[in-house]
Chain A
Amino acid sequence: MKDLSVDNLTTIKDLSKSDIELIFNTADNFKKILNQPIKKVPSLRDITIANLFFENSTRTKLSFELAEKRLSADIINFSSSNSSVKKGETLLDTVQNILAMKVDMIVLRHSSPGASIFLSRNIDAKIINAGDGSHEHPTQALLDSFSIRQNFSDFKSLNVLIIGDIIHSRVALSNIFCLQKLGAKVGVCGPSTLMPKFLKSLNVEYFKDLRSALSWSDVANVLRIQLERQKLKYFPSLREYSSRFGVTKKVLDEIKNKVILMHPGPINRGVEISSDVADSKQSIILDQVENGVAIRMAVLYLLAKKIKK
C-alpha cells in the first residue's frame, strides 16, 4: 500500500481519493482496537504532539486528545484563553517556542482561515488542521464520510445534503470536497443569505426548499447556525429559520424516502433539528463522535509514519 501523498493535513483539497481510502481503511483497524478490553497501542510512544487551540472546542479537542493517548503519544495542551497570545505574541513565535521543546506534531485550531497552511510553510513539524476559521475542518469531513460509508456500500449515486449556515461553515466546505472526491453528489439547503458567493464553482446543487431537498437526498448533514461568526443579520429570527429549515418529525414524515441524519455538533436542539429527530434511529450523530476518535488515530498514525527518524 502507498503512503499518504501529503506531509500535513491542512485541507481536504490536497488529498487524493486513495489517500482518503487509506485513512478509512486504517480507521477501520483502529475501530477494532477501540473495542478491545485494552484500547491502547504503543505506535506513537516516541512522538510528542502539541494541541494548540486558539479557539474554543470541546468535542474536537477531546477527540484528538483521546486519539493521541490511545496511540501512546506524549501530549501537551494549549488554549489561547490563558496564554501569551494575549500579551501580543505572533502565531509563528508561539509555535516556534513550542517546537523548541522538541514537539513532532501540531494539532491546530485557529480563527483565521489558512492558519495551518501558513504554519506548514514555515515550520518542520507535521500539522493537522483542526479547524481554521470558516475555511476547512478536514478531520470532521473525514469522519462524516467514514460514518456515511458504514451505512452505504458505495459513494457513487449517493446524494448528500448539507443544511444550514454554509457561508460560515468549515465543516460544509471540507465535507463538499471530501464527498465529491469519493464520488458522491452534494447539495446544500438554507437561506440564500447564508450561501457563499463561490457556491457555483463548488459544483453543488442548491435547494431553497427543505422538503424538496430532503426528498432528493440519502443523507442529510445538519449544521448549527454559527451566531458567533455572524457579524450581520442574515435572517430575521432563529424562530423563522427553524420553521423553514429546521428538521423535524413533521417534515420527515412528509417525504417518502428515509434520510440518514448527521450533525457535527454542538446541537442547538429545537433550532436546526428537533429533539425527537436528533435522538431517533435515523440519526447517526453519536456514531460520528465514536468514529471521530478512530479517524483521528488513523490520521495521526499515517502522518507520524512520515516523521524522519
Chain B
Amino acid sequence: MMKRKILNEKKINIVLERLSNEILENHFETKNSVLLGIQPRGIELCKRLYYNLKKINNNVKMGKLDISFYRDDFRRFDKIITPSNMDLNISLENKNVILVDDVLFTGRTVRSAFEALLSFGRPKKIELLVFVDRRFCRELPIQADYVGIEVDTLENEKVFVKFGQAEKSVYLTS
C-alpha cells in the first residue's frame, strides 16, 4: 500500500482558518446558523470549525448527524454499517445549515445526509463544507460550497483525513 502525505499540520491549520473565515463571511451574526457534522468522520472537523466560529459569532450551534439508516447502499455491502450517535437537540426548521464532512467523493453520503436532516424540520438553506474534494469522482450532481483542498484521485485510491490531537494530516493511499 502506497501512502502519500498531501497536507501537514501547519497547512491544515491555515486551511481551517480560511474555511472558518469563509463561513463567517456568509453567516456573520446570523442567529440561525447550525454546523452539522456527518458521523463519524465529519465530527472532528466540525468541532474545530465550531470553536473557531464561537470566538466571533456566539450564536452558532453544532449538531451531529448519523446517516446510517438513510443510506442507499444498505444490503449492498457485505460489511455491517455501524450506526453512530445522533446528537441534534435543535429543530432545523428555518435554520441555515452547514453540512460538514471530511471528504466529498461520490456524493452519496451527502445525499443520505439531506434525507436524514430533513427529518428534523425544513431548513431555510443547506450548504456543504468538505475538507477534501475528490474531483471527477461524483456519482450524483452534488458540489460543495466550501472546499478545503481539491485533489485529483483514481477510484481505487483512498483519502484519509486525521484531525486527532496526536496527528493532523491528510494522506492519499493506493
Contact = CB atoms under 8 A, between A and B. Distances in A.
Interface residues of B, number: 19
A245 interface: no
A33 B115 CA distance: 13
A42 interface: yes
A309 B75 contact: yes
Interface in B64-96: 66, 68-71, 74-76, 80, 82-83, 85-86, 91
Contacts of A29: 66, 68-69, 83, 85-86
B66 A36 contact: no
Contact of A1 (B66, B74, B80): B80
B80 A33 contact: no
A187 to B, nearest CB: 35
Contacts of A32: 85-86
Contact of A38 (B66, B82, B85, B120): B120
Given A37-B91, A42-B115, A305 B120 contact: no
Main secondary structure of the interface of B (DSSP, over half): loop
A2 B86 contact: no
B154 interface: no
Contact of B119 (A26, A37, A305): A37
A181 interface: no
B119 A38 contact: yes
B142 interface: no
Contacts of B68: 29
Contacts of A41: 69-70, 119
A240 interface: no
A81 interface: no
A42 B66 CA distance: 14
A43 B74 contact: yes
Given A26-B83, A29-B69, A43-B69, A305 B74 contact: yes
A69 interface: no
A37 B82 CA distance: 23
Contacts of A39: 119
Contacts of B74: 43, 304-305
A36 B115 CA distance: 13
Contact of B82 (A1, A30, A36, A71): A1
A230 to B, nearest CB: 43
A307 B77 CA distance: 11
Contacts of A30: 69
Contact of A305 (B80, B83, B115, B121): B80
Nearest to A35: B86
Contact of B120 (A1, A37, A40): A37
Residue among A2, A3, A43 with the most chain B CB within 10 A? Answer: A43
A64 interface: no
A37 B70 CA distance: 15
A304 B115 CA distance: 21
Interface in A266-309: 301, 304-305, 307, 309
Nearest to B82: A1
A270 B115 CA distance: 48
B119 A36 contact: yes
B118 interface: yes
Interface in A15-59: 25-26, 29-30, 32-33, 36-43
B69 A305 contact: no
Residue among B66, B70, B71, B119 with the most chain A CB within 10 A? Answer: B119
Nearest to A30: B69
Interface in B13-61: none
22 contacts: A25-B83, A29-B83, A29-B85, A32-B85, A33-B119, A36-B86, A36-B119, A37-B91, A37-B119, A37-B120, A38-B118, A38-B120, A39-B119, A41-B69, A42-B69, A42-B115, A43-B70, A301-B69, A304-B75, A305-B74, A307-B75, A309-B75
Given A25-B83, A36-B120, A37-B119, 15 more contacts: A1-B82, A29-B69, A29-B83, A30-B69, A32-B86, A33-B69, A37-B91, A37-B120, A38-B119, A38-B120, A40-B119, A41-B70, A41-B119, A43-B70, A305-B75
